[in-house]
Every structure is written in C-alpha cells, then in structure tokens.
A and B are shown apart, each in its own frame.
Chain A
Amino acid sequence: MTVREELIDFIQHCGLQGLGEITGETALITSGLLDSLALFNLVTWVEERIGVPLDLTTLDLTAQWGTVDELAQFVETRAGTGAPATPR
C-alpha cells in the first residue's frame, strides 16, 4: 500500500466521510470540513508514519497539507528521516 492509499484508507475509516469521495486532489485543509478533532487525528496519523512529533511552529498546513496528494508527499518526504520539519 502506498502512503497515498494508506491516507485515503485512514480518512475513509476515521469519521472524515464529510469529504465525500476521496481522491488525490481532494481538498483537506481548504475544505473547511475538518474540525479540530479530525485534524488532530490526522496529525497523529502523520506522526505515527514519520516517527517523530510534528513541531507545529514549523507547519504551514494550508500550504503543505492542502490536498490528499500534498499530505502524502509531506509524509513521504519526512518518513524515515527521523527529523522534524525544517524550521522557518
């Protein structure tokens, strides 16, 4: 399973069905449909994948997690590096 497929599977099984049919282009952050708790679950999922806590001071969610594909790329870039996102 690719990260993208895992992510889509996660979204479909954790109460984020408000997004409708999920594809790589599905808007995540900009959809405005994810409440804080849903986002929190998403962040927890990402942290499990990359293996380190996400330093929120370095995140620009609207730019980096705009769509399913962008988030999948974010995870792939950081997974296995063991390093937090680059500080601003």
Chain B
Amino acid sequence: MAHRGYEIVKYSPELKPQIIQLQTHLWSRDLDVNCAYFRWKYEENPYCPEPLVHLALHDGQVVGMRGMCGARWQVGAPPETFLAPYADDLVVAPEHRDRGLFTRIMRASLDELAGRGLDYVFNLSAGRVTSIGSLSMGWKSAGGMRPVGRRSRRVLMQQRLSKLWARPRRGPFARLDRADGQVWKYGRTTVSLSTNARPEAMEHLIARLRLDGRFRHVRDTAYFTWRFRNPFREYRFLYAGDDPLVGYMVLQCQRRGGGGEPARVNVVDWQATEPSIRETLLDVALKGAFAELVIWTATLDAETCDLLRRRSFAPVDEADAARGVPGVLIRPVRDDALRTEWSIGGRRLLDLANWDVTMLYSMHG
C-alpha cells in the first residue's frame, strides 16, 4: 500500500529552517548548532557548495531528509581522483516512519547523482538501522572498521563521580591542554600540540608519503581547511617536526550535544614518514590520559596494529563491530550497474584491502 500525500523535492533555501528543526531528531536539540552544521557540511563543502539534499514534504512540511555531502577520493599511484558523495543525515520524522519514505528520498538522490554523471556513492558512518536500510536498496559493505580502544578505568570512574557530585565536567582534552606550548622530545623527533590545523603543512606531508594506491580521501589544503570546522567536534593536533612536518596525529572528541560517547577521544588521522614517528605520536597522545582513546584498525598495516596491541588497545563497540558497523558502504549510482563489478581505476571497491580508511573520512571523525 503506497502512502500518499508525500512529495520528494530538492533542497531550496526557504526550507532550511524546517530542515534544522527536523534534524533535532538526529543532530542535536540546539537549533543554532544544527544550523552551523548544515552550513559547514552542505554550503561550505569544498567539493559541492550547492547542497545535495533531498527532502520529503507532507502538507508542505519537511518530514524527511537525505543529504549527500561532497567528497573527493583518490585511487592508484599516481592517483586519479574522483567525486563520490558521502550519503548521510537520513532522518524521517517519527510520525512519518514506516511509509517507504527512506526509499523514495534515496531514489531521488540517486537519480540526481546519475544526472550529474557520478558513478558511486559511499557512506562510512551508518549505524545499524541505516546500514540495513541501505543494504535493502542495493548498497553493499566492503567491511567493518574494527575499532579498538584503550580505556582508563580510573579516569572513567573520576568522570562518573564528578557527574554524581554535580561538578563541572572537564573536557577530555583538559590534561593534554595543560601541556599546550610544551614540546616533547623523543631522540631527534620533537612533537608539539596545537588546537589549530596546519592545512598546507599537512598536505605537504601527505604529498611526501609513499602511497600504495588504495582508496582514500583526497587530503589537500582545501580539504583540511574545511574538515576541522565541524561544529559538533573538537580537535587537537600533534605535530612531529616543524617545517616540514614528519608526522601528525589528529585527536577528536565531541562537543557537548554532538552525540556519541562524551568521554571518548578518537584518533581520526595519523600519518608519519616513519613507523618510529608514528609510535612517538601515539605515546605523546597517551599522555592525555583519556578515559577512552579509540581508533579504527581495519585498514591499518600489521605493524601499526601490533603497536596498538602493545599499548593495550583492545576491541570496543563489539556488538556493532560483530555486525560490520560502522563499515564502508558503497552503491553504484545507477541501478544498471548493480550487477556489474564495482571498481574504479582497476581496483575492486568491495575489497577492503583496497581501502585506507581513517575516521577523518567519515562523519564519526
């Protein structure tokens, strides 16, 4: 039985206030932050400044949304780049669920992408519900991200107690921030902490790394400049070396009201010219004494995974991880490509060995 009375439309600016209100079901209850998030993600996006957003209307009111965030990826060595939007922000107002709206909104989004000549769409942050809905529409998963974390029971307990005593909770970066301005020296490597990204220096480092041709997001100055402005997230940057950088690690936690685990800190990007520098960056990060430090390991090399094990990292979020969530979800834009081999640049998209995924590429980061 088809549900009538719904209309699927493209985004237009006059609908933005309703979108911001609708997203109180998904993003946050704070309309100002929701507005800032929409602006950052869809209006300031360096790859697609025109919001790729489709909406379900009922009696002229916005009751459903699916967004496609612009994203540029690379594959091969030397790399070829391609646009593959990032599907996100699916929400249907509770009283309009179970009426096939997800399918209809997604269909409209895919049709628009096909009209723009795009081939694939990705999603790296779908939870269980969205993942299942996506699989029903022909998406497939290349694999789960296998998160591991290092937990400090002592710090977790302190945070819970301070909550009980109604003391203001210190942010996860409080301890690390006390070392702001300090330079750690490990042999010939110096590591410094900053609250600011260094987009050009980071791009320069990425350009010097020996790449293996796997799928990864393009990380250039434009991307780094935009990426860390996410109003729901807070970032710290550990830099190894100065000019040029020989490594960096980006740590992230949620701002209040931004969803997720409030005490959790994520390693969202971690790059270095040598393994010893990666190790140094991790050891400096651990000085932050975080209640929980988490990283995705599915596409890390064996040496780095071993380093994490030696530093007492162990699997976390095991219920979701057992189901491959979060994972790399992929779908060809056109239905006639569903039964073909999904590949770009001669590399199979559904083979996780062809991917190098950091949390930064996903909206978890």
**A residues neighboring B (CB under 8 Å):** 15-16, 18-20, 29, 32-40, 43, 53-62, 65, 88
Contact = CB atoms under 8 A, between A and B. Distances in A.
B92 A56 contact: no
A65 B138 CA distance: 12
A58 B138 CA distance: 13
A53 B323 contact: yes
B135 A36 contact: no
A67 to B, nearest CB: 13
A20 to B, nearest CB: 6
Given A18-B98, A35-B99, 19 more contacts: A18-B99, A29-B136, A33-B99, A34-B136, A35-B92, A35-B98, A35-B100, A35-B103, A36-B90, A36-B130, A36-B132, A37-B98, A40-B128, A53-B322, A57-B324, A59-B135, A61-B135, A62-B135, A62-B138
Contact of A32 (B92, B97, B100, B140): B100
6 contacts: A35-B99, A37-B98, A53-B323, A56-B135, A56-B144, A56-B325
B102 A55 contact: no
B129 A57 contact: no
B93 to A, nearest CB: 12
B262 to A, nearest CB: 25
B98 A15 contact: yes
A53 to B, nearest CB: 4
A76 B218 CA distance: 45
B140 A60 contact: yes
A9 B323 CA distance: 26
A21 B327 CA distance: 35
A37 B82 CA distance: 33
Contact of B1 (A20, A53, A60, A61): A20
Nearest to A88: B350
User: Ordered nearest first, which 10 A-B pairs have the shortest CB separation?
Assistant: A36-B133, A57-B324, A57-B141, A32-B103, A53-B322, A61-B135, A56-B324, A39-B132, A40-B129, A36-B129
Contacts of B141: 56-57, 59
Nearest to B2: A33
Contact of A57 (B90, B92, B132, B144): B144
A70 B62 CA distance: 36
B323 A56 contact: yes
Given A53-B323, A55-B323, A35 B133 contact: yes
A19 B99 CA distance: 10
A36 B128 CA distance: 9
Interface residues of B, number: 35
A16 B141 CA distance: 26
Contact of A37 (B129, B131, B135, B323): B129
Given A37-B129, A56-B324, A56-B327, A18 B92 contact: no
A51 B96 CA distance: 32
Contacts of B101: 35
Contacts of A55: 144, 322-324
A43 B98 contact: no
Contacts of B140: 60
Nearest to B133: A36
Nearest to A15: B98
A60 B140 CA distance: 7
A34 B92 CA distance: 13
A19 B2 CA distance: 9
Contacts of A15: 98
A62 B136 contact: yes
B335 to A, nearest CB: 10
B143 interface: yes
Contacts of B322: 53, 55
Contacts of B164: none
A39 B3 CA distance: 18
B100 A33 contact: yes
Pick the most buried of A29, A34, A57, A62: most chain B CB atoms within 10 A of its CB.
A57
B302 interface: no
B319 interface: yes
A65 B101 CA distance: 20
Given A18-B100, A20-B1, A36-B130, A61 B136 contact: yes
A22 B102 CA distance: 22
